[in-house]
A and B are shown apart, each in its own frame.
Chain A
Amino acid sequence: MTVFTPSFVAPAPAVPYPANVYQPHLVTIEAVRDEAPEVRTLRLKFNDPAVAEKFSFVTGQFGEYSVFGAGEVTFCIASSPTRKGYLECTFRAVGKVTRAMRDLQVGDVMGFRGPYGNRFPIDQWFGKSVLFIAGGIALPPVRSVIWNVLDLRDKFKDVTIVYGARTVADLVYKHELEEWAARKDVKLVTTVDPGGETPDWRGEIGFVPTVVEKLAPPSADTYAVLCGPPIMIKFTLPTLAKLGFPDERVFTTLENRMKCGIGKCGRCNVGPVYVCKDGPVFTAAQLKLLPAEY
Chain B
Amino acid sequence: MSTTAPITKANLANLVARLVAGGARVVAPVRKTDGLRYREVTDGAEIVLEPRGLPDMSLKAVVFPPTEPLTSYERKGRDVALTAPPLIFQPTVVLGSRPCDAAGLEILDRVMNWDLRDELWFGRRRATTIVSLACAGPADRSCFCTAVGLAPDATRGSDALLVPVNGGFVLEAVTDAGEALVKGNHDLFGVPAQADAEVRQQARQAVAANLSLDPPAVQAWLSAHFEDPLWDPIALRCHGCGACASVCPTCHCFDVVDEPEDLAHGTRRRNWDTCQAAKFTLHASGHNPRADQNVRFRQRVMHKFEIYPERFGQVLCTGCGRCSRTCPGGQDLPEILAAIQARVGGAA
- A positions within 8 Å CB-CB of B: 1, 3, 17-24, 26, 66-72, 92, 94-95, 98, 107-111, 229-230, 255-257, 259-260, 262-267, 269-272, 277, 291-294
A-B contact pairs, 17 of them (CB 8 A): A3-B310, A20-B87, A21-B118, A68-B258, A69-B258, A71-B268, A107-B78, A109-B80, A110-B80, A257-B281, A259-B270, A262-B114, A266-B275, A267-B273, A267-B280, A293-B290, A293-B295
Bound-state CA distance A270–B226 (Å) is 12
Given known pairs A22-B70, A263-B114, the reply for A70 and B258 (CB within 8 Å) is yes
Complex contact A20–B303 (CB within 8 A): no
Complex interface: chain B residues within 8 A of A19 (CB): 87, 119
Bound-state CA distance A26–B78 (Å) is 12
Starting from the known contacts A257-B281, A264-B118, 10 additional A-B residue pairs (CB-CB under 8 Å) come to: A19-B87, A20-B71, A68-B73, A68-B268, A72-B256, A255-B283, A256-B281, A265-B273, A269-B299, A271-B226
- B positions within 8 Å CB-CB of A: 70-71, 73, 75, 78-80, 82, 84-85, 87, 111-112, 114-120, 223, 226, 252-258, 260, 266, 268, 270, 273, 275, 280-285, 287, 289-290, 295, 299, 302-303, 306-307, 310-311
Bound-state CA distance A259–B280 (Å) is 10
Complex contact B282–A257 (CB within 8 A): yes
Complex contact A264–B284 (CB within 8 A): no
**Main SS class of interface, B:** mixed
Complex interface: chain A residues within 8 A of B85 (CB): 20
Bound-state CA distance A165–B73 (Å) is 38
Bound-state CA distance A216–B119 (Å) is 52
Complex interface: chain B residues within 8 A of A291 (CB): 226
Identify the closest chain B residue to A258 (Cβ): B256
Given known pairs A272-B311, A291-B226, the reply for A26 and B281 (CB within 8 Å) is no
Complex interface: chain B residues within 8 A of A266 (CB): 252-254, 273, 275, 303
Identify the closest chain B residue to A23 (Cβ): B84
Chain B min CB distance to A204 (Å)? 24
Complex interface: chain B residues within 8 A of A3 (CB): 310-311
Complex interface: chain A residues within 8 A of B82 (CB): 23-24, 26, 111
Bound-state CA distance A277–B46 (Å) is 45
Bound-state CA distance A22–B255 (Å) is 12
Identify the closest chain A residue to B261 (Cβ): A69
Given known pairs A24-B82, A69-B266, A255-B283, the reply for A262 and B116 (CB within 8 Å) is yes
Q: CB < 8 Å: which of B80, B115, B311 contacts A262?
A: B115
Complex interface: chain A residues within 8 A of B119 (CB): 19-21
Complex contact A277–B284 (CB within 8 A): no
Complex contact A269–B307 (CB within 8 A): yes
Chain B min CB distance to A105 (Å)? 8
Q: Which 6 A-B pairs have the closest CB atoms?
A: A266-B253, A22-B70, A68-B73, A293-B289, A109-B80, A71-B258
Chain B min CB distance to A134 (Å)? 15
Complex interface: chain A residues within 8 A of B283 (CB): 255-257
Complex contact A94–B281 (CB within 8 A): no
Bound-state CA distance A110–B78 (Å) is 10
Bound-state CA distance A271–B270 (Å) is 24
Chain A min CB distance to B125 (Å)? 14
Bound-state CA distance A255–B287 (Å) is 11
Complex contact A267–B253 (CB within 8 A): yes
Complex contact A95–B303 (CB within 8 A): no
Complex contact B114–A272 (CB within 8 A): no
Bound-state CA distance A70–B268 (Å) is 9
Given known pairs A22-B268, A266-B252, A293-B290, the reply for A229 and B80 (CB within 8 Å) is no
Complex contact A98–B307 (CB within 8 A): no
Most buried by A among B257, B268, B284, B289: B284
Bound-state CA distance A1–B309 (Å) is 12
Complex contact A68–B287 (CB within 8 A): no
Identify the closest chain B residue to A268 (Cβ): B281
Complex contact A69–B310 (CB within 8 A): no
Bound-state CA distance A257–B280 (Å) is 8
Most buried by A among B80, B114, B283, B311: B80
Most buried by A among B75, B115, B275, B289: B289
Identify the closest chain B residue to A72 (Cβ): B256
Complex interface: chain A residues within 8 A of B290 (CB): 293
Complex contact A264–B112 (CB within 8 A): yes
Complex interface: chain B residues within 8 A of A110 (CB): 80
Complex contact B287–A230 (CB within 8 A): yes
Given known pairs A22-B270, A293-B295, the reply for A109 and B79 (CB within 8 Å) is yes
Bound-state CA distance A71–B118 (Å) is 20
Bound-state CA distance A259–B271 (Å) is 11
Chain B min CB distance to A66 (Å)? 7
